[in-house]
Amino acid sequence: MFDNNKRLFEGKILGNKKRIIYSDLGVQPNKTHFSGASPPEVFVGRFNYPHVNAGILSPEVYEGTEAMSYPEVWYEKKFSIYDILSRRGQLIYGKFKVNTKKTYSGKFLNIMQELSLAYKSVSTEFFLKKPPAKSLEISRFSPIIANPAPLDHARLQENPKVKPKVDYIVSDTQVKAADAIRELYKSQIAISNINKILSTGLLGQQTRRRLVPTRWSITAVDDTISKNFLENIRHYEEINEILLFNEEYNGNHYEILLLPGNFSFEVIEAEIKFGEIKFWQDFELFHGRKYYANNVVGAYYANRVAVCEYLEKIKKQATAIFFREVRPDYYAPLGVGILRECTRDAFRKTPERFATIDQALQQAQIRLKLPIKVFREKSILLKEYGKQKKLTQWFYKRNFY
């Protein structure tokens, strides 16, 4: 579908937090009328909250558009960064202004909500107030957004395909949002779909339903799902051996260490930039966090979903430490969805087993480019591991010595 030899991306990086690659992705100049199949895709911004931009995204093509939206598909098909940016760059973002703190209704919102419910692409037609800006916005904190322009008119050219469970949950205006998220997840609705439904204000009790910025909805869904697992995991027996998992995708390399002990969780990310190592780190102990993981941000909660799914599967609890090495070939952030899928896949593989932590870290070093000691020195959980005596150890000493 794409010519790898074609120069699609031109321009420069602007700033550290938001990067814009000016592009020519086939969007016709001076055009304001478009039709195609939305993946489906919607977006609610967070800047200038609660007065934000929201809207729908759709390309000018009708075939294969699901691959423009879903991290689950990107990872399954092992798309390169180039593949993902090329596909995202074909989407046109028709946006409008909205106050997220008010109960909002209108033709644009109704279309957004219908799209968010669908699990397959939906034929869409829309008119813009002016031609879209031919750009691709890339940020560590939000999905890739391309070709924005104010929306003038839009309509769906077919009825969206909605799964019965989704229709049932959205119609229940008495169930709380957290319970709705858990129910949709248990019904095997893709996490990306649940994100969109929450973002467009279709979950929760009727009087509390509001549009939720996309970045916040992604984290909220991951946080809710993993917390639900932890209600059970904290009562399971501990694993009885040291396990090591690993996976890599598009320059994101993970080494994941599971240690015998009560559930605790830590993510340490390291990236080499201009000859210096930059770190991000957050952790939680047995009783969880009280505050948002401001350093690792959304990836923290995406990784926690992956390890909680695994621990629930084996009916055990453990101390979990994620080492993420961000390599130079990860030249454009692709969102936390690919990190969730990458670490989920790590836990589908047979783990390596070790008698000591040192042995496990030595094995991790074989695959890491950075010295493992930089991770070990940063880790709060490794520093504290084994220092606290357990009641079982105290009773053992009292009875046998």
Please choose, from the candidates 352, 326, 357, the residue with its C-alpha nearest in 3D space to the C-alpha of residue 339: 326
Give the total residue count for the chain.
401
* Eight-class DSSP state of 101: T
How many C-beta neighbours within 10 Å does residue 386 have? 12
Average pLDDT along the chain: 89
The secondary structure element, H or E, covering residue 98 is strand 92-99
What is the C-alpha to C-alpha distance for residues 225 and 228, in angstroms, rounded to an integer?
A: 5
The pLDDT of residue 395: 38
Is the predicted pLDDT of residue 396 greater than 50, yes or no?
Answer: no
The pLDDT of residue 106: 73
CA distances from 241 to 227, 318, 354, 357 (A): 24, 10, 7, 10
Highest mean pLDDT among 8-22, 86-100, 169-183: 169-183
The pLDDT of residue 16: 42
Conformational region of residue 26, where left means phi above 0, alpha means psi within -120 to 50, and beta covers everything else? left
Q: In which residue are the tokens 């000018």 written?
A: 60
> Up-side HSE of residue 235: CA atoms within 13 Å toward CB?
4
The pLDDT of residue 364: 98
Average pLDDT of 176-204? 97
Bridge pairing between strands 242-249 and 148-156:
unpaired
Is the predicted pLDDT of residue 7 greater than 90, yes or no?
Answer: no
Is the predicted pLDDT of residue 27 greater than 70, yes or no?
Answer: no
Share of the chain residues as helix, strand and coil, in percent rounded to the nearest 5: 35, 25, 40
Please choose, from the candidates 160, 158, 128, 134, the residue with its C-alpha nearest in 3D space to the C-alpha of residue 147: 134
pLDDT over 90 for what percent of the chain?
A: 77
What is the C-alpha to C-alpha distance for residues 31 and 129, in angstroms, rounded to an integer?
A: 10
Is the predicted pLDDT of residue 22 greater than 60, yes or no?
Answer: no
Average pLDDT of 273-280? 87
Cis check for the bond before 260: say yes or no (omega within 30 of 0).
Answer: no
Q: What angle do CA 235, 241, 243 make, to 5 degrees?
A: 100
Average pLDDT of 34-38? 95
DSSP string, 323-350: EEEE-TT--S---HHHHHHHHHHHTTSP
CA distances from 36 to 31, 113, 126, 154 (A): 14, 18, 9, 12
The pLDDT of residue 275: 78
Round to the nearest angstrom and report the end-to-end CA distance of the chain: 73
The pLDDT of residue 273: 78
Residues 6+ apart with CB under 8 A from 10: 21, 22, 23, 24
The pLDDT of residue 386: 75
The pLDDT of residue 28: 67
The pLDDT of residue 102: 77
